[in-house]
Chain A
Amino acid sequence: MTRSGGKFVGLLVALALAIGLNGCKQQGGSAADADEIIIGEYASLTGTTATFGVSTHNGVLLAIEEANAAGGINGKKIKLITEDDRSKADEARVVVTKLVTQNKAVAVLGEVASTRSMTAAPVCQQYKVPMVSPSSTNPEVTRKGDYIFRVCFTDDFQAAVVGKFAYDKGYRKAAIFKDMKNDYSVAFADNFAKSFVKQGGKVVGEQSYQEGDTDFKSQLNSLKAAGPDAILCPGYYSEVGTIARQAREIGLNVPILGGDGWDSPKLVPGAGTALNGCFFSNHRFSRELELPEIKAFIANFKKKYNENPDALAALGYDAAGLVVDAMKRATKLDGPGIRDAIAQTKGYKGVTGVITLDQNRNARKEALILRIDGEVFRVEKTYRPEELGQ
């Protein structure tokens, strides 16, 4: 071998050592200590729905820190391991597999997006680790197995609320513009149509887009031709802003309605003034409600992060709080033991309402209709499940 060849091999060895050492360091850190309980969390900390993941994570972290400050669980501290799924469904399955097999998490928190919760849920079910979703609203999520729970309402209810609200508001002809690759958006649109038609309204047009599209004018123009009183756009904030702008640009000035996927500090920067006076349904969390538990949560959250929490942060806080509460009651601190304790949750006092899990592992809660007013979301109306006969 030539002299330079020798140098090359030397360099390769050095590189391999550097990478190898780094790998060892990471693995050493994740080994479980006997006096710690590990809760795994997967969230979209980056990617198309990053604000969802970051908000939720902040709420979860606050709940875990408060639980540890209050003495943990029977003297054991809780350790939260958070993995970023980069807003991708495949990635969610990978990181959840890592959380339950390598990190030996006894409970998993996540996700916001229903599509990602549904790809990760079978992993949790297979390894018998309970998974609690803070805010996935697609009904299918908890049907993946008896280890899958959620602390929010489902789209059956949320979309029915929007349908009823639209009819009560005087809209008779609605058009639907949904993200056809998003399980949340598709189910929302279907349930809205059912509820709206049952009330006596009519769906006059239906079009779809895909996350990542940049030009929505063609579809919006054909919706405009149908002459709707309102448009339902149950997508995520990352596209809704652009859709609203382009709708106004082509002279489609009717109100746009949506769901909790709009709840993000990035909604208004994306939309400019195009969404002013539009409505969306959300979980029962708003500073305008003047409830003591909400006030306390906002104060604690602001102290830690120096920003105002949104509904997703409150749901993350409730999901983590509910798991901690179940762990305190659990007879055995392993997957099945914690699952049974979570399933028996009754009347847990959360920030977003009193949580009782039904036999389908869903929470029955109130929904709000919020109106976008500049950069503020104002409470327009509150709906209880009983009002819709659910």
Chain B
Amino acid sequence: MQQIAQQLIYGIQLGSLYALIALGYTMVYGVLRLINFAHGDVYMVGAFVGFYACTRWLPFKDLAVHPEAAGANIALAVVALLLAMAICSAMGVVIERFAYRPLRNGLQKADAHFWGLVLGFPITGLFMPVFAGWGPLVAVAVGIGVGFAMRPLVAWLARRVKLSESRLNALITAIGVSLLLENGGLLVFGANPNFIPNILPEHTYTLPGGVMVGSSQLTILGVSLFLMLSLRYIVMCTRPGKAMRAISHDIEAAKLMGIDTDRVIAFTFALGGSLAGAGGAMVAALTHVKITPLFGLLPGLKAFVAAVLGGAGSLPGAMVGGLLMGSAESFVAGSSLSMFRDAIAFCVLIIILLVRPAGLMGRHVPEKV
């Protein structure tokens, strides 16, 4: 009994993280019918922001040397969390603006300059090390040049290319963005594992019955719950949230009603990115796992499964799906079948989709012909 309760607590902690990432998947799917595979990599960036904030950017003190700095460190950790959320939501917006929006609305001059900047780095890398000395400045200069050189190309493409309604294009673009972020991360952050040292005081509480709960687990659970409730408030009770729901219902009709759909879509990506960023930074700082550019691969995949499981497009569905996935995984990992830990996620998915093809809380909407 004590074992079961203990595993359930681990499962809920893991599940609340999956739910946090799954919400980003499901919101984007709701408004755009797009599976944003780059979302797991936004989570990775959140972890790296957490890492740099904890080791370089913010004046954290080592608790082993300065035990009295616990309070100051907690305040700084909140700043680090907000920083990760801000950077990741900005990243979500940038990904939407320069990777997905051109597929919907066509190319513009700004696209030429953005991709020029991105290309500037590998082109500079052919001639000199990009991330040392003058490298970054030269790369930006080259990037601006490439941007101007690409303007005629972009103008030409914008005239020639007919926009397609196909969702496959956006899906393949999403996979491309994911690969770009992972391999770009390998270039920028390097492939060596990084660890965040002990910066927050850690306690373990023993509940009646011998079940143990750590302060880091409680923090992850509490922050995730708070963020999910805030998200629910934004979606249900604010004007942008109302617009999101309208777009998810029928994007064309929403446009006709005067909703600036592009802006609301960008807002959706910002929300999703901030949740993933918070999750990444929390995991990195509180569980001391190694942080690498492939940090988001597996959690991203599982959160995607959680979103489908709960019903793509449904916010409560994503939360339930995440918790279900986390608990299932935790119970299997704790049993004698721990080698099937990852397989169980997909078994649960198959069983639930057989019974409820639209997911646990998804509505089955027939395609209009």
Contact = CB atoms under 8 A, between A and B. Distances in A.
Contacts of A46: 186, 190-192
Given A222-B335, A241-B195, A249-B214, A11 B149 contact: yes
B230 interface: no
B219 interface: no
B234 interface: no
Given A4-B153, A225-B3, A249 B204 contact: yes
Contact-residue size bin, chain B (C-beta under 8 Å from the other chain): 35 or more
Nearest to A54: B192
B202 interface: yes
A264 B128 CA distance: 31
A208 B338 contact: yes
Interface in B267-298: 283, 287-290, 292, 294, 297-298
B318 interface: no
Contact of A210 (B149, B288, B342): B342
B103 to A, nearest CB: 21
Most chain A beta-carbon neighbours within 10 Å: one of B64, B216, B287, B342: B287
Contact of B330 (A5, A50, A218, A225): A218
Contact of A217 (B10, B288, B294, B339): B10
A47 B339 contact: no
Interface in A1-36: 2-5, 7-8, 11, 18-19, 22
Interface in A38-94: 46-48, 50-51, 86-87
Nearest to A205: B336
B198 A221 contact: no
Nearest to A47: B191
A210 to B, nearest CB: 7
Contact of A87 (B7, B191, B287): B191
Contact of A241 (B288, B294, B299): B288
Contacts of B149: 7, 11
Given A221-B7, A221-B10, A251-B212, A238 B153 contact: no
Contacts of A5: 156
B222 interface: no
B116 to A, nearest CB: 11
Interface in A110-155: none
A344 to B, nearest CB: 39
A171 interface: no
A269 B197 contact: yes
A46 B192 CA distance: 6
Interface string B137-164: 0000000000001101101100000000
Most chain B beta-carbon neighbours within 10 Å: one of A5, A7, A213, A215: A215
B193 interface: yes
A86 B150 CA distance: 33
A222 B212 contact: no
B354 interface: no
B161 to A, nearest CB: 13
A249 B218 CA distance: 13
Interface in B90-126: 123, 126
Interface in A208-251: 208-210, 212-215, 217-219, 221-222, 225, 238-239, 241-242, 245-246, 249-251
A212 B289 CA distance: 9
B153 A8 contact: yes
B3 A239 contact: no
B334 interface: yes
B333 interface: yes
Most chain A beta-carbon neighbours within 10 Å: one of B64, B153, B192, B331: B192
A242 B153 contact: no
A333 interface: no
B312 to A, nearest CB: 25
A212 B341 CA distance: 13
Interface in A243-269: 245-246, 249-251, 266, 269
A36 B78 CA distance: 59
A207 B340 CA distance: 11
Given A215-B10, A242-B288, A242-B289, A270 B338 contact: no
A204 interface: no
B253 to A, nearest CB: 38
Contacts of A278: none
A330 interface: no
B173 interface: no
A180 interface: yes
Nearest to B216: A249
A308 B77 CA distance: 35
Nearest to B292: A48
B344 to A, nearest CB: 12
Contacts of A209: 338
Contacts of B287: 214-215, 242, 246
B248 interface: no
A50 B333 CA distance: 28
Contact of A221 (B6, B204, B283): B6
A313 to B, nearest CB: 17
A239 B288 CA distance: 10
Most chain A beta-carbon neighbours within 10 Å: one of B13, B204, B289: B289
A48 B330 CA distance: 25
A19 B125 CA distance: 12
Given A8-B152, A48-B191, A208-B339, A272 B334 contact: no
A245 B342 CA distance: 22
B54 interface: no
List the 8 closest pairs (A to B, CB-CB), nearest first. A4-B152, A218-B333, A46-B191, A214-B289, A218-B334, A47-B191, A222-B334, A218-B330
Given A5-B156, A213-B298, A239-B290, 14 more contacts: A2-B156, A7-B149, A11-B150, A22-B126, A46-B186, A86-B191, A218-B333, A222-B7, A222-B334, A222-B335, A225-B3, A241-B290, A242-B290, A269-B195
